[in-house]
Amino acid sequence: GAGVSQTPSNKVTEKGKYVELRCDPISGHTALYWYRQSLGQGPEFLIYFQGTGAADDSGLPNDRFFAVRPEGSVSTLKIQRTERGDSAVYLCASSLTGGLNTEAFFGQGTRLTVV
């Protein structure tokens, strides 16, 4: 596709359940980022992939959060034992190389609501 695509656009889940959020980056982009954004706040960095490997996962809040990018394209953010505090918009972005000053393009986000 022409842009970064995230699915689902909305996800409501019960506390304690497992969820997967998917990101399809722009074709050919080697760098992929996951961010979390709460209402009225700026995005909060979660994890950065360069190719298939997680180059920086220091933003993942705890071990309930995990992300993969097995073939260097599509990425899945996985959240185990969801908590109400996990409710937020999860944004994915990709850039061509991830190098300094390369533009990152964002998807529209997945709004996760944990009830």
**DSSP state for residue 81 in the 8-state scheme:** S
- Member of 56, 67, 71, 87 binding another protein (CB under 8 A): 56
**Cβ-based nearer residue to another protein, 38 or 80:** 38
Binders of another protein among residues 16 to 55 (CB under 8 A) are: 31, 33, 40-45, 48, 50, 55
Query: Which pair of structure tokens corresponds to residue 99?
Result: 């190098």
Smallest gap, in angstroms, from Cβ of residue 19 to another protein? 19
The answer to whether 59 contacts another protein (rule: CB under 8 A) is yes
The beta-strand segments (E) located in 1-115 are 5-7, 10-13, 19-24, 31-37, 44-50, 53-56, 65-68, 75-79, 88-95, 104-106, 110-114
- Give the interface with another protein as residue ranges (CB under 8 A): 4, 31, 33, 40-45, 48, 50, 55-56, 58-59, 91, 93, 95, 98-109
